[in-house]
Amino acid sequence: MARIEIKYTNGEYITIKLFDNKLSEDLLTHFSKDNDNYTIRDSTSNAYKHEYNGVYSDNIKQNWKIILTQISKLKELGVKFPREIPNQFDFSQDTLNYLHRIFTYSLQFGKYGNVSTESGEFPFTSSFTTPHFSDNALTNHKELYKITEPINSAVHAIERYTITTKGADALQTTNKVSRIYFDNNSGNKHNAFEVNWYPLKKNGHSDSNYNFMEYTEPHMVCLNDTISGKSVLVSYRDDDNPTLPDCTGRLITDGSFIIYPNRNLHDVYESDGFTSWLGKHKMNINQAPLEMAIGHVIESSIPLESFCHKSSKVVYKALSSLKWLK
């Protein structure tokens, strides 16, 4: 049986059965060599906790300074923007959506060709061309990544401090999502060129983005959202536009994954708020690339939700081993 065995230093354990399909077979082959590189990112009963209080903290100041510095570097290279970036963070999620698209669109514009100057919410002026660093296309791509990735990281560092959207409010009140999140740390998370990626789309697994709601198992296991953009769930939280080119399913993966200890995530996708938000963008749930499921938990030493309890947080951050096994 293809599986993932997880053991904690205090003796607790979780066993995941991988689905009997080509996706799981390919993932196991690719990531079993990374068995010694996993850590627990978080175990929480409120994965999308929001902390807006209007306080301009040192954390916000530091990350906003990073954003302004990197924007200045782009301007020095001749990049022009149709809107002004405020000198201080305005706590607006719309502002962060715009800044995040500077990262995603700039990379997808030249490298992948699925973004053009006519793309919706294009964050640059229509005269935009990829800044020239070298006659080598890959070098150009890497150099632009070095400038825009800090913007991406800074946006994620302060996104929980924005004025709450309807989606964000639902995800921290009526539709909280519990999760146990395991990170593959075999590569540098802040340098995409040093990560052991497995190409999902290239290997014919894109359809697996669209069948999450068909699964009835109570303890689903899904790949995390390694997306050069946003997942549908994060777009909902951010009141962003799920029809834009940088809102996609999983096209690549670094082998990181999430255990959902209950059916709360399904409840989000079946909620009136989520359905209404999709409808606003003329989409229905069958058109939305949701989670990419790879298996489900078949055994655990204690109830899965116990791993998410606040009182257990320190105990269950201690991972002894995680192995992909045949």
Q: What is the pLDDT of residue 311?
A: 54
How far is it, in rounded angstroms, from Cα 163 to Cα 50? 9
**0.85 surpassed by pTM:** yes
Could you tell me which of 121, 96, 139 has the C-alpha nearest to residue 130?
Answer: 139
Residues 94 and 148 in one domain: yes
Specify the number of domains making up the chain.
2
Residues 260 and 240 in one domain: yes
Decide which of 163, 196, 220 is a domain's last residue.
163
Residues 226 and 316 in one domain: yes
Decide which of 106, 130, 163 is a domain's last residue.
163
Residues 215 and 305 in one domain: yes
- Look at the alpha carbons of 237, 241, 242, 246 in this order and tell me if their dihedral is positive or negative: negative
How far is it, in rounded angstroms, from Cα 129 to Cα 301? 55
Ranges in the chain, pLDDT < 70? 110-113, 189-190, 310-317
How far is it, in rounded angstroms, from Cα 110 to Cα 166? 34
Beta bridge partners of 319: 8
Residues 34 and 73 in one domain: no
Per residue in 56-89, pLDDT tens?
999 999 999 999 999 999 999 999 999 999 999 9
Q: What is the pLDDT of residue 308?
A: 87
Residues 171 and 291 in one domain: yes
How far is it, in rounded angstroms, from Cα 256 to Cα 183? 5
Instruction: Kindly report the backbone phi and psi dihedral angles of residue 211, in degrees, each rounded to the nearest multiple of 5, phi listed first.
Output: -120, 15
Q: What is the pLDDT of residue 112?
A: 63
Question: Residue 247: which domain range?
Answer: 3-49+167-325
Residues 156 and 175 in one domain: no
Residues 252 and 282 in one domain: yes
Decide which of 163, 181, 196 is a domain's last residue.
163
Residues 90 and 158 in one domain: yes
Q: What is the pLDDT of residue 217?
A: 92
How far is it, in rounded angstroms, from Cα 275 to Cα 285? 7
Residues 105 and 42 in one domain: no
How far is it, in rounded angstroms, from Cα 115 to Cα 122? 8
Residues 212 and 317 in one domain: yes
User: 67 and 155 in contact (C-beta within 8 Å)?
Assistant: yes
How far is it, in rounded angstroms, from Cα 47 to Cα 290? 16
Residues 184 and 44 in one domain: yes
Could you tell me which of 55, 59, 93 has the C-alpha nearest to residue 234?
Answer: 93
